[in-house]
Amino acid sequence: MRVVTAAEAASLVHDGDTLVIDGSGGGHAIAESLIVALEERFLAQGAPRGITSFHPVGVGDEATQGVSRFAHPGMLKRIVTGTLVDSPKLEALAIDGSIEAYTLPQGALSQLMREMAAGRPGLVTRAGLHTFADPRIGGGRQSPSATEELVEIVELAGRE
């Protein structure tokens, strides 16, 4: 195992990459130093561009910390989260369609992280059926630019 600085870790993120952020929201157990380093790199170099931020919980302080640091034109392509409430700057970008924004059930996103870590193709769950997360109702889309289907209905043993 090699320990690297936040700036070194930020240098490993490329245009179009997906960044998975874990923690418990509101700044608890969040890799804030990495988020800061990514913002600093973007402001200095214009990279990485078009990244996706994936985090089950809100990551921020309702002002400037957390993923609000990604609220620079071109830095973020998409956000997939349980809530945007901790990042008003990203809420604004979602509303005007500057970024693709999706909110999905926090528990399902947490379980999806486990599936991703295990190399499995996705998560089968009944969470979100007949709610805003159901693709027949909106599929968790929170912005006009969010057009991709991130969730789908499957039938298993006769049940959706």
Give CATH for domain 6-117: 3.40.1080.10
* 0.85 exceeded by pTM: yes
DSSP state letters, 42-101 = HHHH--S-SEEEEESS--B-SSSSBGGGG-STTTEEEEEES--TT-HHHHHHHHTTSSEE
**Range from 13-27, 33-47, 124-138 carrying the lowest mean pLDDT:** 13-27
Q: What is the mean pLDDT of residues 66-74?
A: 94
Separation in Å, CA 29 to CA 69, 86, 94 = 17, 15, 25
How many separate helices (H) and strands (E) can be counted in the chain? Answer: 4, 4
pLDDT at 25: 62
Tokens for 136? 């027949």
Q: Where are the domains of the chain?
A: 6-117
Of all residues in the chain, what percent carry a pLDDT higher than 90?
A: 82
Please, what is the Cα angle at 33 between 76 and 19, to 5 degrees? 35
Q: What is the mean pLDDT of residues 34-61?
A: 95
| Whether residue 20 has pLDDT greater than 70 | yes
Strand partners, 81: 55, 103
pLDDT at 27: 60
pLDDT at 62: 82
